[in-house]
Amino acid sequence: MNGEELREVMRRFPAPVAVVTTAFEGERFGLTVGSLVSLSLQPALVGISIGKDSSSHEPIRRAGAWTTSLLSGTQAHVAQHFARSGIPPVALWNGVDVREGKRGPLVENALAWLECRAVSEHDAGDHTIFVGEVESTELGGTGPGLVYRDGSFLPA
């Protein structure tokens, strides 16, 4: 089994889409993820998997915290924006409607937001799994969420 075969299989399974952000040393970082998972209710823990080659990987690690904006079904353009690689961190925020959160920027018009403090990290091949304790949540509007399936962002 190689990585491309696994990617092809996993593209058939819908994954929820969120934007993970952090602020570190006066700079904001963000990326689109399809790996957000609820891990525990007591204590409230979530996990995210971030590629080690992502420009947000080390800032998330060093900040020890992040925010997550759970995207609505109408925010495919936001997911695509944060999925681009090679964008300088300062340029990443042009044209994106955000507000400041405790742990990083929050994408406006999302379905919900989580602010998390890292409690552990686990090496997972070319990714790191970060486990975060949810410090606060906020609900946004209602409606369909955004999923990634077969190489496309879709409302679900």
CATH, domain range 43-140: 2.30.110.10
- What pTM, to 2 d.p., does this model score? 0.95
Residue ranges of domains in the chain: 43-140
pLDDT tens figures, 40-96: 999 999 999 999 999 999 999 999 999 999 999 999 999 999 999 888 877 899 999
Supply the pLDDT for residue 1.
78
pLDDT at 9 over 80: yes
| Angle at CA of residue 35, ends 9 and 10, nearest 5° | 5
Please give the average per-residue pLDDT across 16-43, as a whole number.
Answer: 97
pLDDT tens figures, 98-153: 999 999 999 999 999 999 999 999 999 999 999 999 999 999 999 999 999 999 99
Supply the pLDDT for residue 91.
85
Convert 106-121 into a string of H (helix), E (strand) and C (coil). Answer: EECCCCEEEEEEEEEE
What is the b/e burial string over 9-32, where b = at least 16 CB atoms within 10 angstroms of the residue's CB? Answer: eeeeeebbbbbbbbbbeeebbbbb
| CA gyration radius, the chain | 15
Supply the pLDDT for residue 89.
78
